Amino acid sequence: MRSEVLDLHELDEGQRALAGGKGAGLGALAGIDGVVVPPGFCVTTDAFRRVVGGSSLVAELLEGLGAVSPDDGDAVRTQSAAVRAAVEATVLPPDLSAAITAALAHLGDGTALAVRSSATAEDLPTASFAGQQDTYLNVVGADEVLLHVRRCWASLFTERAVTYRIRNGIDHRTVQMAVVVQQLVLPRASGVLFTADPITGNRKVAAVEATVGLGEALVSGRVDADSYRVRDGAIVERRTGHKQVATVALASGGTEEQAVAPGDQAVPALADAEVLHLAALGRRIEAALGRPQDIEWCLVDDGFRIVQSRPITTLFPAPAPAPASADDANHVYVSVGHQQMMTDPMKPLGLNLWQLKARPVMHEAAGRLFVDVTPMLAAPASRAAVLGALGTADPLVGDALQAIVDRDGFLPEPPPAPDAGPGGAPAGPPPGTAPDPIATDPAVVTALIQQAEASIAATEREIRGKAGPELLAFILEDIQELKRVLWDPVGHQALMSGMDAAGWLNEHLLEWLGEKGAVDTLSQSVANNVTSEMGLALLDVADAVRPHPEVIAFLEEGPGDDLLDRLPALDGGDAARGAIVGFLARYGMRCVGEIDLTRPRWNERPSTLVPLILGNVRAFEPGEGRRRFEQGRREAEAKAVEVLARLRALPDGDAKADEAAEMIARVRTFAGFREFPKYAIVCRSWVYKQALLAEADRLVAAGLLRDREDADFLSFAELQSVAAGTAVDGALVDQRKEAFATYQRLVPPRVLTSEGEAVRGTYRRTDVPEGALVGLAVSTGTVEGRARVVHDLGEAAVEPGDILVTAYTDPSWSPLFVAVAGLVTEVGGLMTHGAVIAREYGLPAVVGVEGATRLIRDGQRIRVHGTEGHVELID
């Protein structure tokens, strides 16, 4: 019984399982010097388990609730109401009622109280679950308190709470409820304080919202509150709301809303000195609890009362600076994932291996990688080039960085100029400048590809038979060989030559001919584009499947990843199997999010390709792959003839045409090579992965790992230690798995500062129709069609003429491009993979359309303006 009713001062953060999030949080607050928490006690989860957990009726109802789909609103509503009714009808044991009544006596007879739900799955560092359970204000008398304790227990099963738990995979039977009973504060003002700006994430800015009376009207959104921003002990922004209503306590119990006199509605609820004192109090609480806080407060005559504090769970963490630059100076980080078309979090091993392969230092935050561009922005010699290159590739990044540059005193004094840009590639000259002097010779690209393939083959030979520390040491050494191949000076010249020639053509053909994006047609069906060739190769697989109805029927049944073993038993299965195996031999190391080595490759899950193959079978005739390539080549050749003829008709036209012809030849020679370096990285990574999977199995057999997946949650250095004989720390792995799950709910910003601020750029455009969605034009043309909003490549159901709308596309999405008429993505730039392949296939495309998958409905008719960079919603 002693553990069923505890005073708040007997609780702390470590007793969440006993007191719930709110109770544990209030206990922790009560122990901070200078923080005043209204007195009260907690009816703990021990009481909940004894009363509610001991009810056979509730247990039976929860069993049924666990089988309900979150999308079945009627079932959620009906069954959750039945659970709530059963909980409210439970009878409290006499000893528990007596303990609660005794605790009430210490607060004083007739004291107005707040009775507040405190679930074990709320106010977590990773998820707040805020507002899902009930709070009752101005509860007076023991009988009313006992009734409202049961009501709080029942609120664990509101429709919203039940749906949230189902969607987040939380078993209803594992969540417990405590109840906090506190003396009700009757304040002249109340509100919330965020110790980090909840909009920008800036950890140095506190946000205050305040209203008169109790805070319920503010929390529920029924009042226009005062708002303040505080930084470094000063109010830097303020807005006084018109507070038309206030929530007040009634003498008879409960609360009601009362109108605020018109003359008082615009009077600030707090004086400036009170705002600053509150912000300082918030900093004290944040320091004690170790993370930014969302704090509920009340102001009475003698000072502030803190009635709740929970972690702010929506903030994206700032990257930790490298040890060499660990200082108090400001830093600016650019997202690597937005360049690599992989904004999902990466597991630690995959993330660490990508860091090891990268040339610039990459910093981790929430499972994503960022590059510190502060030195390049601070140095005048490199600033313009960086802003130009990044702004051309992604205007939202460029605009955000320019906003930071324009802030007085934010950037440090410039250091020596660096040699590499973000994402692992030297920044290079801005588009439109003269290309590097390299011969326009296809043999250059052929030699580079052969060199890389020979290096990968050597790695494949030399890694065989290696295990334990020897294997890990070999991979570390081989990564240096990978870097050598990737940073070969000739390879870099070839890469930049194609990109810069494209920039030159776009700039000069617009100037000379008034034509936008002519290079998009000129770059169709270029040689050596391994990613576009992959999409066409899957059309050839469809050709091998199409003649065999039994194979098609088998694939339509949704076979598992053993499909290659089962195909030979079917009529035509050998031919289909041979085509799929051939495709996998060339491209099976790819997958969605392929920069993360821990993600399953197509070689591991060939069933991922089945929807794409079947889509090609239904949509196209035999030989479509060859026809597509030839059509693109003919269109490019015709465009070159047209452009050069128009140039020759201009003053000094022969010189212009000769110069343009050389640039067209450079694009045709080198543009396809743009996709090869990443392909080479992924090929080599697949060699590493196969060896690391075998090593993980060896470590499991040796008892050093619990299971193969645990290896994914170790850094490379930690895996080396385990390979040398040190058993893995299972608790550490579990902690990282839990953290990874929370990272998946966070959206990474393009640009982030060391203050935690997500700096958002904007498209500064006035030339788009009203209501259109603005993005970056990356592939010319206009197309109207049905939008297919796709979140999972394995579930893509598109038909010819559809427009693909998705968050991002990496090379693994390219086989889907052959079946669509246009492309819209939320993430992307001029030279990201989706843009390159869209141009190669002649698909109008607009990328970087923020919120596209939310603002465009699946099935909605849209018009994509790939030349102008916007999307119209037709219906």
Exposed, middle or buried, 182 (CB in 10 Å: 0-12/13-18/19+)? buried
Identified catalytic residue from 331, 833, 865, 870: 833
Exposed, middle or buried, 239 (CB in 10 Å: 0-12/13-18/19+)? exposed
Residue 190 to residue 184: CA distance in whole angstroms: 13
Residue 747 to residue 316: CA distance in whole angstroms: 7
Do the bridges between strand 845-847 and strand 822-825 make them parallel or antiparallel, or are there none, so unpaired?
parallel
Alpha-carbon distances of 9 from 19, 36, 41, 136, 425, rounded to whole Å:
12, 12, 8, 22, 56
Sign of CA dihedral 535, 536, 537, 543: positive
Name the token pair of 94. 């006499």
**What DSSP character marks residue 707?**
S
Identify whether the C-beta of residue 372 lies closer than 8 Å to the C-beta of residue 322: yes
> Helices 573-587 and 549-556: crossing angle, nearest 10°?
60
Give the count of beta carbons closer than 10 Å to the beta carbon of residue 724: 11
Strand partners, 178: 118
Per-residue three-class SS string for 783-835: EEEEEEECCCHHHCCCCCCCEEEECCCCHHHHHHHCCCCEEEECCCCCCCHHH
**Closest-CA residue to 534 (of 600, 609, 593):** 609
Phi then psi for residue 644, to 5 deg, are -65, -35
Alpha-carbon distances of 238 from 209, 241, 268, 271, rounded to whole Å:
10, 10, 10, 12
Residue 478 to residue 483: CA distance in whole angstroms: 9
**What DSSP character marks residue 172?**
G
Strand partners, 416: none
Buried b (16+ CB within 10 A) or exposed e, 707-719: eeebbbbbebebb
Give the count of beta carbons closer than 10 Å to the beta carbon of residue 365: 21
Per-residue three-class SS string for 336-377: CHHHHCCCCCCCHHHHHHHHHHCCCCEEEECCEEEEECHHHH
Identify whether the C-beta of residue 315 lies closer than 8 Å to the C-beta of residue 756: yes
Residue 748 to residue 370: CA distance in whole angstroms: 10
Identify whether the C-beta of residue 120 lies closer than 8 Å to the C-beta of residue 156: no
Which residues have CB under 8 Å from 854's CB, separation 6+? none
**Closest-CA residue to 32 (of 309, 315, 313, 311):** 309
Sign of CA dihedral 157, 162, 168, 173: positive
Name the token pair of 790. 């796709």
Question: Any idea how long the chain is?
Answer: 875
Among this protein's residues, is 833 annotated catalytic?
yes
**Closest-CA residue to 508 (of 663, 385, 641):** 663
Provide the residue type at 201 as one letter: G
Buried b (16+ CB within 10 A) or exposed e, 753-768: bbbbbbbebebeeeeb
Give the neighbor-by-neighbor strand order of the sheet with 368-372.
362-365, 368-372, 332-335, 751-753, 758-759
Task: Kindly list the catalytic residues.
Answer: 833
